[in-house]
Structure 1
Amino acid sequence: MDLAFLKTLYERPGPYASVYADLTRTTEDAAKAAELRWRALRAELEDQNTPKATLRAIARTIEEELAMRRSEGIVVFAADGEVVHRERLPHPPRITRATLAPLPDVLPYLAERGEQFPHLVAVVDRRGGAIDCVGADGRHEHIDVRGDEEFPIRKVKAGDWNQSRYQRSSENTWKINAKKVAHEIDRAADRCRAEAVVIAGDIRARNAVLEEVSESVLEHTVEADKNTGINDPELDEELNRLLKLKTAERVMTVAERFDRELANGERAVSGLPATTQALRHGQVETLLLMDDTDSDDRLWIGPDPIQVAATAEELREEFGITDPRADRADAALVRAAAATDSELVVVPSNDQAPDQPVGAVLRYTTTPA
């Protein structure tokens, strides 16, 4: 997971209020229930002495969501009287909580968000197609492709005097249009660097397009047997299935490399102290964190993201920090990883967990391998 999108989140001195709110409305008194759940979270923030300006900013955001009914859940991070980052969820968050701490409580959000693979969905027919492409930064691009050839599209019925000529013309028209659609798919996939491609629509058109797309796109493509629109829920389900598979493959690949490097005593470290030290020195290529949102592990931090250590004494000795602060270990590690352009892999807790809940694959080691 590329953490570059989080960098601006850490520009405030803090403290940060982090809210995971359930806004679902599934019963007759749903609106009231959602409001009561928010009041309970607000009370938690008040009990933690959240600054009034920050609390007001969060309240405006959540009350607007409740009024507009735009989401089933929301994640909000706020500091210095402003909402710094928010994300609407299509479902309730897995956990609901509100905390005030030196750093934002981001791990539940990142686990919920998951890997953001750039992807492309195309729904094609014999006249052209519709393409949606989403980049790694979440930016959407929609392209409607209208074939150059409109006539003839349909084959004539058997027995017509010019049957064979029209059949050949129809097939030629489909191929011409399919070639244009495939060209646009190739271009869009290249622009957004799509790692997953779903092609749906008319079966003859799908086959024609699949014959024309490039090999580099084809190797990332699955065919959906759906003759439907671009926003159809069944097509979304197929895309989500593919993206979950890609996520599982990504976790497995990184975990296998981590195990191999660790066993060989090479570019990997395991455990909180060693991983913290590697992040502090900019050595980490990929940080591995178990999805344990209830962990009580703590680290000490300074104002700079790389100022992170297992003890306050380490920060005082290495950086001269006079007032180190303690916070959740996962929050401190993610901040350091984002600042040093490290990637993150969140290891699901229901998978085979590593011996240590924290580890890292390194860019380099400080001693010869």
Structure 2
Amino acid sequence: MRLSFLEPLYRQSGPFASVYLDTSRDAAIDDPDAAIELRWRHLRDVLASEGADRDAITAVAGTVGSDMDVPGTHGQAVFTAQGRLALLDELPAPPARDTAHFGTLPDTMPLIIQHAPAVPYLAVYVHYSGRHSTAAIGTVRVEAEAGTWPMTKVTPGHRLDEEIPVGDWTRAAGEIGRELEGHARRIDVEKVIVAGDAWARGILVRRLPASLRGQVTTVDGVGESEPGRALLEQQLDGLFESRMAGHDRALLDAFLAERARGGASAEGLAAAVSALQRGRVKALFLNDHPKLPFRLWVGPEPGQIALAEQELSFYGIREVREERADAALARALVGTKAELVVVPERERWLREGVGVLLRYADLAFRE
């Protein structure tokens, strides 16, 4: 998964406030606004106890709960830099627990994990309930959405909504197919999910451009979705559960191939940190629950990361401090333009939960 969406945040200087908060407004909560305010009050106290200034706390307070137009269960990730709002991202699922942190690095790893698996897709629902004949009276309505899963749960992608007389459906389906191809090409779609009336959707699928037909999966179920939620969200949840994006899968396959021949790969935290120091990491792989130490040592630059303070001091780095391991790794990945791939442990176990695919082979990393 490419982490370029975090580059604007890391271009700013700290200190940073990082807040993850459940901002769900579903039917199970009697007074969601009061619940959000109560949770924020607790996190505000945490920020204050960690030294957050008034500006940082005010900037977060003005943003928390601002996603009133997003229905259902979800959350928010809010980051400030030097007391100003630096990044706001909606979370497709509530955080495992509400957290707040104030320090020299932003706490971005939970946000990165929520972006996974980052599958680019196209969802299409064909609304039709009439007679299966182009001589019938009525209309066929096509809804489509191009986006990246799971973020489209809370940040809908580009939508298409067309209504066509049944008599024109055979001809119009080809035109809609070409329009869908344009949307798909823009985000390099991996999967096309089509639902709705079997007869009407069948005509559309047969008239899709060849570049899309091989990616089609048809599913049952209704296409109605709440405003602000993904089209075919339930069906997408089932299809993409535990799936890796094709781009990430290709990186993992390359890592496994290099590992098999003792090439440009390494496993374990020490090897990963050493490779990040040298800017040689193309992609870092993390199991669901990697066995990371609580802290790593860092310097002012992203690649200045180490397991021990003495290692950085040896290179003449004067400003050395301890940071949370996941925060230090995230900064190093973004700063060196490496990618991150979340690998389910049942898919592939990695030593200490960490592996790296190197940009080029290096004898120093071979075992």
| TM-score, L = length of structure 2 | 0.82
Cα distance in 1 for partners of 2:69, 2:189 equals: 36
1:277 corresponds to 2:274: yes
Pair 30,350 (structure 1): closer, same or farther in 2 beyond 3 Å: farther
Asked if structure 1 preserves the Cα contact closer than 8 Å seen for 2:117 and 2:245, the reply is no
1:132 corresponds to 2:145: yes
Structure 2 equivalent of residue 211 of structure 1 = 206
1:316 corresponds to 2:329: no
Structure 1: segments with no counterpart, 5+ residues:
154-169
1:61 corresponds to 2:63: yes
Larger radius of gyration: 1
Q: Out of 23-32 and 321-330, give the one that drifted further.
A: 23-32
AA at the equivalent of 1:357: G
Cα distance in 2 for partners of 1:11, 1:292 equals: 29
SS of aligned partner of 1:105: coil
Cα distance in 1 for partners of 2:73, 2:244 equals: 24
Aligned residues: 346
AA at the equivalent of 2:265: A
Cα distance in 2 for partners of 1:47, 1:293 equals: 29
Pair 62,234 (structure 1): closer, same or farther in 2 beyond 3 Å: closer
Asked if structure 2 preserves the Cα contact closer than 8 Å seen for 1:74 and 1:86, the reply is yes
Q: Out of 291-300 and 271-280, give the one that drifted further.
A: 291-300
Cα distance in 2 for partners of 1:112, 1:259 equals: 25
Structure 2 equivalent of residue 123 of structure 1 = 125
Cα distance in 2 for partners of 1:51, 1:294 equals: 33
Structure 2 equivalent of residue 297 of structure 1 = 294
Structure 1 equivalent of residue 173 of structure 2 = 178
Pair 192,233 (structure 1): closer, same or farther in 2 beyond 3 Å: closer
Structure 2 equivalent of residue 162 of structure 1 = none
1:97 corresponds to 2:99: yes
1:1-369 correspondence to structure 2 within 5 Å = 1-24=1-24, 26-28=28-30, 30-62=32-64, 64=66, 72-124=74-126, 127=140, 129-134=142-147, 140-145=157-162, 147=164, 150=165, 153=166, 173-226=168-221, 228-229=223-224, 235-244=232-241, 246-247=243-244, 254-255=251-252, 257-292=254-289, 295-318=292-315, 320-348=316-344, 353-367=349-363
Pair 295,360 (structure 1): closer, same or farther in 2 beyond 3 Å: closer
Structure 2: segments with no counterpart, 5+ residues:
129-138
Shift of 1:223: 0.8
Shift of 1:285: 1.5
Structure number with higher helix proportion: 1
Cα-to-partner distance string for 1:217-236 (whole Å, 9 max, x where unaligned): 12222112245447687821
AA at the equivalent of 2:115: R
Cα distance in 2 for partners of 1:365, 1:134 equals: 35
Pair 235,29 (structure 1): closer, same or farther in 2 beyond 3 Å: closer
SS of aligned partner of 1:247: coil
Asked if structure 1 preserves the Cα contact closer than 8 Å seen for 2:193 and 2:216, the reply is yes
Cα distance in 2 for partners of 1:245, 1:68 equals: 24
Shift of 1:250: 6.7
Shift of 1:307: 2.1
Q: Out of 12-21 and 236-245, give the one that drifted further.
A: 236-245
Cα-to-partner distance string for 1:57-94 (whole Å, 9 max, x where unaligned): 11221264589989742111222001211222354211
Pair 112,121 (structure 1): closer, same or farther in 2 beyond 3 Å: same
CA RMSD of aligned residues (A): 3.2
Asked if structure 1 preserves the Cα contact closer than 8 Å seen for 2:79 and 2:86, the reply is yes
Shift of 1:113: 2.5
Pair 181,197 (structure 1): closer, same or farther in 2 beyond 3 Å: same
Q: Out of 224-233 and 41-50, give the one that drifted further.
A: 224-233
Cα distance in 2 for partners of 1:28, 1:228 equals: 28
AA at the equivalent of 2:287: M
Shift of 1:209: 1.6
Cα-to-partner distance string for 1:186-231 (whole Å, 9 max, x where unaligned): 2221122111211122221211121122333122221122454476
Shift of 1:8: 0.9
Cα distance in 1 for partners of 2:280, 2:259 equals: 15
Asked if structure 1 preserves the Cα contact closer than 8 Å seen for 2:56 and 2:84, the reply is yes
Cα distance in 2 for partners of 1:250, 1:129 equals: 29
Cα-to-partner distance string for 1:237-290 (whole Å, 9 max, x where unaligned): 112322335427776665554344334321111112211121222221111123
AA at the equivalent of 1:117: V
Cα distance in 1 for partners of 2:96, 2:327 equals: 18
Structure 2 equivalent of residue 161 of structure 1 = none
Cα distance in 1 for partners of 2:325, 2:13 equals: 18
- Percent identical among aligned pairs is 32
